[in-house]
Each structure stands twice: as structure tokens, then as C-alpha cells.
């Protein structure tokens, strides 16, 4: 696929994908989103529908069961899903960029053949166990350990806030663990594949969250979990460095999701401002409302341009770390700002969970935290500027 990306006109293959996902989001996802949110149920039927469309395999080669597309194709799907349901969008994003992508980027051929066709099919989910109670933005604070014993890794420790880690179709967790010390005396962090049915691994009860109620999120525990030595993913001691690469890519995906949220808030407000009347005229004819929505549209447009730019750099093989950080920061702030303003436009209705803007208001805050906080993005941008 071409690496020339424009917010004005997408190449045909991208536009066809965007339209098909937009239709799926509108006709299949949106009608049940409020119910899943209220009941806090994982949307298995939606995940199955996305699997049938090949969305989980979008960026992977056909030889591994993928669709032969690229990362930007995934981003387009996330933007459309993000407009109507963030829980569904993050399930896809995490399943691909955190669950399957590490195996594609760093796995041996045997690991790819074993796991990628299953994950790319969407019939199974993978998760990435990075964050711990004392190690999030500072992943170097990892305390989970993995020690070799008779040709097996013995893993002990805990993880928290892990997406897609406790569903009925979760099949593996890739875990960062301390496997020793390097020549400089610092922690040697490696990544290890743990099948979900391994004895000693437990997905603890799901969190009670402010938002993303239909997304699966658990704390995890590892109690003398034993897996073969060959389950090491990538080079020993490169686990942290490799995951930084995964995070750089994932920030573009999260930026696409955030853009969808920002645009979804605009779309809802435009519709509502035309339908809702006060003092004898549609509220959209009031300049205060019209200007608020206009500013929301500007945020969404800037967010989209930012993630398109980062994706174009990535596809062309150029350095994209700064662009990804900018896109992630701009889009998450646009989502949060637009959700707040959309709630204001809707007034009392905007505070009712049955309305999409209310769910976006609850859901959007995590976009400024997950896969690197806003402060981390600022740090990365400043560092890339040589500061």
C-alpha cells in the first residue's frame, strides 16, 4: 500500500476499509454500546464481528493469517470505532498492537507460526503484561522475576491494568520480567510468552473502572509459573527496549482512537444542535454553541493530521518517535476537551449514561494516561528536540 497519506483524500483501498468499518460501527457497535457499558459486559459478539471482517489481522502478512495491510489501515479502523465506542476500539487496539505485534516484531519463526494465525484471526486475544504497582511510566522499576531452572523460566510477580487479559478467548500474556543483571549492574529485563492456561498464572477479578466498562482489564499474578526456555520473546535483556518500539507504534494507534472520539463528539453535537430548540430556534443558531462546536472540529482535524503524519513517517521507514508522541498527546487532549464541551452542549442529557457524549466524557480521561501519560509524551518531545 502507498505511504502517501492525506487527510483530504485517502487512496481507494484505505477509503473502502474506512467506509466498511464506519458502517459496522454505526449499524452493529453503536446500537449495543450503552447496554454493554451499563452491564460492564465484554462484547464477544462485536469482537467476533470484527474478527470476521479481518480487523485483527489488518497489519500482518497473509503468510501469518493476516490481511496483508499495514499499521495505518489499523488506525483507520480504530478511528471509526472510536467514534461510537471506546471499549470496542481499545479491545482491537490492544489485541493487535500489544497482543500480536510483539510476536510479529520480535518472535522467532516458530513463535510466529504458532501464535500469529490465531491472534490475527481474532478468534483469540493476546495481552502484554508491562505495568506493575511500582512500574508504569518507569518500566525500569519492574519487580516481576523470571529465573531459568532445568530449561524452564520460573516467573513470579504481579502486573496491573492489563487489557484483554481475562477474557474467555485470551490465549497468551507476554510478560516483562527481570532475568538478571547486565554488565553495568542494572536490571536485565526480558519478555516471555505465557500461555493463559499455564498453572500458577491468575487473572484476578476485573477492576471497577471510571470508564471503558466493556473493555477487559485485570491485575495479574504469577506464582511459580513455569514455561519453556524457548518462550523467551526476542533477545534476552532487550525486553524493555523492544517494548519501547511497540509503545511508539501504539501511540499512533491510540492517537487514531482519540481522533475518532474527538470527531464522534463533533458529529453528535452537530446533530443535536440542529434538532434541539430553545427560545424558539435550534441551539446551533446561537453563536456560543456554534463556535464551541467549530473549535471542537478544529481539534479533531488537528488530531487527525498529527496521526496521519506519524503514520506516514512510520510507513516510509523514517524516525517517527517525536511525531507519535505529538499525535498521542494532541489526540488525547482533543478527545478529553471535546468530550467535556460535548457534555456542555447536551446540557442535562449530556450527563446521562445512555448518551454517547456522557460515555465519551467518562472514557476519554484514560487516553491521557494509558500507553504513556501526557507528561511522558512531553518528555519524549523535549528529548527529541535535544533538550
pLDDT attached to residue 244: 87
Looking at the domain assignment, is residue 50 inside a domain? yes
Instruction: Using the 3D structure, point to which of 101, 125, 149 is the last residue of a domain.
Output: 125
62: how many CB neighbours lie within 10 A of its CB? 11
pLDDT attached to residue 116: 97
Q: Do 222 and 343 reside in the same domain of the chain?
A: no
The whole-number average pLDDT for the span 173-184 is 92
pTM for the full predicted model: 0.95
Q: Do 299 and 254 reside in the same domain of the chain?
A: yes
Q: Do 256 and 162 reside in the same domain of the chain?
A: no
Instruction: Using the 3D structure, point to which of 125, 146, 180 is the last residue of a domain.
Output: 125
pLDDT attached to residue 220: 98
Confidence of residue 1 (pLDDT cuts 50, 70, 90): very low
pLDDT attached to residue 240: 86
Distance CA 179, CA 4 (A): 42
Share of the chain above pLDDT 90, in %: 91
344-368 confidence digits (pLDDT tens): 999 999 999 999 999 999 999 999 9
pLDDT attached to residue 138: 75
Q: Do 264 and 317 reside in the same domain of the chain?
A: yes
Backbone angles phi and psi of 309, in degrees to 5: -65, -45
Query: Between residues 199 and 134, which one has the greater pLDDT?
Result: 199
Looking at the domain assignment, is residue 4 inside a domain? no
Q: Do 262 and 379 reside in the same domain of the chain?
A: yes
pLDDT attached to residue 3: 47
pLDDT attached to residue 49: 98
Total domain count, the chain: 3
Look over the chain and give the mean of its residue pLDDT values, rounded to a whole number. Answer: 95
Owner of C-alpha cell 457497535: 29
238-255 confidence digits (pLDDT tens): 988 898 889 999 999 999
Q: Do 231 and 144 reside in the same domain of the chain?
A: yes
Backbone angles phi and psi of 223, in degrees to 5: -120, 95
Catalytic status, residue 229: no
Looking at the domain assignment, is residue 1 inside a domain? no
Q: Do 337 and 361 reside in the same domain of the chain?
A: yes
Q: Do 230 and 281 reside in the same domain of the chain?
A: no
pLDDT at 7 over 80: no
Confirm if 21 and 84 have CB atoms less than 8 A apart: no
Q: Do 331 and 378 reside in the same domain of the chain?
A: yes
Looking at the domain assignment, is residue 2 inside a domain? no
Q: What is the CATH number of the domain that holds 71?
A: 1.10.540.10
305-325 confidence digits (pLDDT tens): 999 999 999 999 999 999 999
Confirm if 300 and 264 have CB atoms less than 8 A apart: no
Q: Do 300 and 352 reside in the same domain of the chain?
A: yes
Confirm if 208 and 359 have CB atoms less than 8 A apart: no
Looking at the domain assignment, is residue 6 inside a domain? no
Distance CA 180, CA 147 (A): 8
pLDDT attached to residue 2: 43
Instruction: Using the 3D structure, point to which of 102, 125, 148 is the last residue of a domain.
Output: 125
Coil vs helix vs strand at 361: helix
62-118 confidence digits (pLDDT tens): 999 999 999 999 999 999 999 999 999 999 999 999 999 999 999 999 999 999 999
Query: Between residues 134 and 377, which one has the greater pLDDT?
Result: 377
pLDDT at 373 over 60: yes
Distance CA 16, CA 24 (A): 12
Share of the chain above pLDDT 70, in %: 97
Q: Do 40 and 97 reside in the same domain of the chain?
A: yes
Q: Do 163 and 292 reside in the same domain of the chain?
A: no
Considering the candidates 35, 371, 375, 384, report the single residue annotated as catalytic.
Answer: 371
pLDDT attached to residue 184: 80
pLDDT attached to residue 385: 96
Backbone angles phi and psi of 181, in degrees to 5: -125, 150
Query: Between residues 185 and 251, which one has the greater pLDDT?
Result: 251
Question: Residue 134: which residues within 8 A CB-CB, separation 6 or more?
Answer: 141, 143
Distance CA 211, CA 45 (A): 20
Segments forming the whole domain that contains residue 268: 241-384
Local structure of residue 179 (DSSP, 8 states): E
Q: What is the CATH number of the domain that holds 320?
A: 1.20.140.10
Looking at the domain assignment, is residue 318 inside a domain? yes
Angle at 164 between CA 163 and CA 169, to 5 degrees: 175
Looking at the domain assignment, is residue 146 inside a domain? yes
Helix axis angle, 44-52 relative to 86-93, nearest 10°? 50
Amino acid at each position: 500500500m502507498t505511504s502517501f497519506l492525506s487527510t483530504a483524500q485517502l487512496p481507494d483501498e484505505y477509503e473502502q476499509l474506512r467506509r466498511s468499518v464506519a458502517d459496522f460501527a454505526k449499524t452493529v457497535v453503536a446500537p449495543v454500546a450503552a447496554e454493554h457499558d451499563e452491564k460492564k459486559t465484554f462484547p464477544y459478539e462485536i469482537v467476533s464481528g470484527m474478527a470476521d471482517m479481518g480487523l485483527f489481522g489488518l497489519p500482518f502478512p497473509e503468510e501469518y493469517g493476516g490481511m496483508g495491510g499495514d499499521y495505518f489501515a489499523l488506525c483507520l479502523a480504530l478511528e471509526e470505532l472510536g467514534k461510537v465506542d471506546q471499549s470496542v476500539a481499545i479491545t482491537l487496539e490492544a489485541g493487535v498492537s500489544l497482543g500480536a505485534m510483539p510476536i510479529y516484531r520480535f518472535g522467532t519463526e516458530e513463535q510466529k507460526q504458532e501464535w500469529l494465525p490465531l491472534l490475527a484471526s481474532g478468534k483469540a486475544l493476546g495481552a502484554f503484561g508491562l505495568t506493575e504497582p511500582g512500574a508504569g511510566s518507569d518500566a525500569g522499576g519492574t519487580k516481576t522475576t523470571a529465573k531459568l531452572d532445568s530449561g524452564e523460566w520460573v516467573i513470579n510477580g504481579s502486573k496491573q491494568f492489563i487489557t484483554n487479559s481475562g477474557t474467555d478467548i485470551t490465549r497468551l500474556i507476554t510478560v516483562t520480567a527481570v532475568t538478571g543483571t547486565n554488565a553495568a549492574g542494572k536490571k536485565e529485563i526480558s519478555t516471555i510468552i505465557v500461555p493463559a492456561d499455564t498453572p500458577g498464572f491468575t487473572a484476578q477479578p476485573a477492576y471497577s473502572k471510571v470508564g471503558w466498562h466493556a473493555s477487559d482489564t485485570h491485575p495479574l499474578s504469577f506464582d511459580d509459573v513455569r514455561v519453556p526456555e524457548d518462550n523467551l520473546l526476542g533477545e534476552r535483556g532487550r525486553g524493555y527496549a523492544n517494548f519501547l518500539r511497540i509503545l511508539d507504534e501504539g501511540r499512533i494507534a491510540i492517537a487514531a482512537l482519540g481522533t475518532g472520539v474527538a470527531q464522534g463528539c463533533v458529529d453528535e453535537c452537530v446533530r443535536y444542535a440542529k434538532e434541539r430548540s430553545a427560545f424558539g430556534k435550534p441551539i446551533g443558531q446561537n453563536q456560543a454553541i456554534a463556535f464551541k462546536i467549530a473549535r471542537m472540529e478544529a481539534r479533531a482535524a488537528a488530531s487527525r493530521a498529527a496521526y496521519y503524519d506519524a503514520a506516514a513517517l512510520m510507513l516510509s521507514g523514517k524516525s517517527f518517535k517525536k511525531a507519535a508522541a505529538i499525535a498521542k498527546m494532541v489526540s488525547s487532549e482533543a478527545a478529553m476537551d471535546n468530550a467535556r464541551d460535548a457534555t456542555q452542549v447536551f446540557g442535562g442529557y449530556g450527563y446521562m449514561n445512555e448518551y454517547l457524549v456522557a460515555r465519551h466524557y467518562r472514557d476519554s480521561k484514560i487516553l491521557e494516561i494509558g500507553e504513556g501519560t501526557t507528561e511522558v509524551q512531553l518528555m519524549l518531545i523535549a528529548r527529541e528536540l535535544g533538550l
